């Protein structure tokens, strides 16, 4: 599924990382802190956040309110931090991901931003601006998510981890189960799958969150 040369490069980097393990605890802690800041910054920037990497770091580490930035942007940072904590907890369990846990992640993503829709499947049709794909109707979302979970559980020990994470991300955003926050939730799930396979956290360059309008 991956271009062979790219797959080889990733495999080589992963093998080198594995050779260095176990890393010193202080190094692991510092790397985790830095990865988390960059993960939150990149995921929110994809969806239009105007916070810089440094501003994101100040909000996370010092609780500073950045002048000229919206309250929503601040909540997006702290919410994502809480969602990552759940991702790490779920990754450590090594148990199949459930639709309930997906909704838990989404509830954290939209906490204090959209209380009514946080953790709730959408009940209206949506369209993705600039895309020809039409997400399934709202009444079909529970069934679509059940099929997605079943597919994920069936493929978790079949597909190579990066392919699994990529296809799971694609299938999830195609369903677009939520009115908002789909991209962030999809990237959290993608990272969860990669963390379980001992990969460090990447950030997806695909905007799938903000350019949504209800029909």
* The pLDDT value given to residue 213: 36
First to last CA, the chain: 35
Catalytic residue among 74, 80, 106, 176: 176
* The pLDDT value given to residue 62: 95
* The pLDDT value given to residue 214: 38
Q: pLDDT tens, 73-96?
A: 999 999 999 999 999 999 998 899
**Mutual angle of helices 99-109 and 71-93, in 10-degree steps:** 150
Q: Is-above-0.85 flag for pTM?
A: yes
Q: pLDDT tens, 156-171?
A: 889 999 999 999 999 9
* The pLDDT value given to residue 208: 43
Compute the chain's Rg from CA coordinates. Answer: 17
Write out residues in the chain with pLDDT < 50, as ranges.
203-215
Q: Which domains does the chain have, with CATH numbers?
A: 4-214 (1.10.3290.10)
Active site residue 176: yes
Residue 206 in tokens = 């695909």
Cβ contact 113:72 at 8 Å? yes
* The pLDDT value given to residue 135: 95
């Amino acid at each position: 599924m991956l271009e062979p040369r790219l797959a080889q490069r990733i495999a080589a980097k992963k093998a080198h990382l594995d050779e260095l393990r176990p890393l010193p605890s202080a190094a692991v802690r510092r790397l985790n802190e830095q990865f988390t800041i960059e993960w939150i910054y990149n995921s929110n920037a994809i969806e239009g956040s105007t916070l810089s990497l440094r501003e994101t770091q100040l909000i996370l580490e010092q609780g500073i309110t950045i002048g000229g930035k919206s309250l929503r942007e601040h909540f997006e940072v702290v919410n994502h931090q809480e969602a990552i904590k759940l991702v790490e907890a779920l990754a450590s369990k090594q148990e199949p991901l459930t639709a309930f846990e997906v909704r838990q992640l989404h509830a954290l993503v939209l906490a204090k931003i959209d209380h009514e829709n946080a953790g709730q499947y959408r009940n209206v049709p949506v369209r993705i601006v600039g895309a020809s794909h039409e997400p399934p109707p709202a009444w079909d979302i529970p069934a679509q998510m059940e099929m997605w979970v079943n597919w994920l559980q069936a493929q978790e020990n079949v597909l190579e981890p990066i392919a699994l994470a990529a296809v799971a991300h694609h299938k999830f955003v195609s369903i677009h189960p939520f009115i908002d926050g789909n991209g962030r939730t999809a990237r959290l799930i993608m990272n969860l799958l990669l963390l379980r396979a001992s990969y460090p956290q990447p950030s997806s360059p695909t905007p799938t969150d903000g350019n949504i309008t209800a029909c």
